[in-house]
Structure 1
């Protein structure tokens, strides 16, 4: 997809779950076993990560995996910055949400 469709950066929205004790497919396994995904934004296991998890894919390129929990308790943000040579860097932020009133 990166080369065929000329994509600079591929984001995967996942509901596999961050990790499991057995060998069940997860965001961490997906990141390691693929070649073109740059960022995985995941859900399902409701994992609170203070910082994105970084790993290497099959081509030894960095893949970022992030989950920010569940129910909007925390919101995550990742800003991705590109230079003119398609190199990138990122800054992440995790914000706790305070709910003071009940919505009816």
Structure 2
């Protein structure tokens, strides 16, 4: 993650086994060592002993020139049905964000961002119902937002990038960039002298063979190739029905 220059991510949910929590704690510690902050604004972890000593922040503040930017991160409450979160409490997304926004306002934050793994429809609800939110960077539904013609015909555009949510207090932006690292999200924001969002531009960038390979990262991946190949050949079971794989989580939601 540090090699890829990530600085923030939110907790996320996917189908998991009984060992999921056992690997979560080491993951959080490795992210801390890599200076990557993991956000869990709507998570309560105090009752889960496996997460004792780990760092899962409710929010983080960045200062860009004179602008104070507060960033929060939420995970879908569907996690309770699609995974096994143990004794982790997954609280209402919007209520949790509103509570954290107030704490951030008390610290002088001007611009509010949510990184989410709750799905596009909930992203828009957050932007509409939390007046202070300026930007939602979403995931979970792998929604392909793009302004203009899709770079690849098979990648069906599902909305504008960014999608604009209008409310009484102004506008909020919502972005997602599809799935599996196929696209790199790219959004540029411009502020006026008073710190108000003035203009924005950008579109997801297709990571195809026109993008030069990072040789250092390729070496890192090569070191795992044999381990992954061996693991993929391990026989773990069988199914008597057809399982449909897709980017929309068909197996996860209908198995």
Which structure has the higher relative contact order (CA within 8 Å, separation 6+)?
1
What is the aligned partner in structure 2 of residue 36 from structure 1? 132
Aligned-pair CA distance for 1:99 = 5.1
1:69 positional shift: 0.5
What residue in structure 1 maps to residue 110 of structure 2?
Answer: 8
- Following superposition of structure 1 onto structure 2, how do residues 74-85 of structure 1 map, counting pairs within 5 Å? 74-85=183-194
Identify the match of residue 27 of structure 1 among 117, 123, 145: 123
Q: Structure 1 or 2: larger strand share?
A: 1
The yes-or-no answer on 1:92 pairing with 2:202 is yes
Q: Secondary structure at the match of 1:39?
A: strand
Residue 166 of structure 2 is matched in structure 1 by 56
Return the alpha-carbon distance in structure 2 between the equivalents of residues 33 and 87 of structure 1: 19
Unpaired runs of 5+ in structure 1?
20-25
Equivalent residue pairs, number: 97
Alignment-derived partner of residue 174 in structure 2: 65
- The 3-state SS of whatever aligns with 2:190 is strand
Query: Which is greater in Rg?
Result: 2
Mapped to 2, the partners of 1:52 and 1:82 lie a distance apart of: 16
Who is 1:22 aligned against? Answer: none
Q: In 2, Cα distance between the equivalents of 1:81 and 1:97?
A: 25
Cα deviation digits, residues 26-72 of structure 1 (max 9, x gap): 11111111111100000000000002100123x34101000000001
Could you tell me how far 1:80 is from its partner in structure 2? 1.6
Higher helix share: 2
Matched, 1:47 2:143: yes
Report which stretch shifted further, 33-42 or 74-83. Answer: 74-83
CA apart distance, 1:17: 0.2
Alpha-carbon separation, structure 1, partners of 2:114 and 2:130:
11
- SS of match in other structure, 1:93: coil
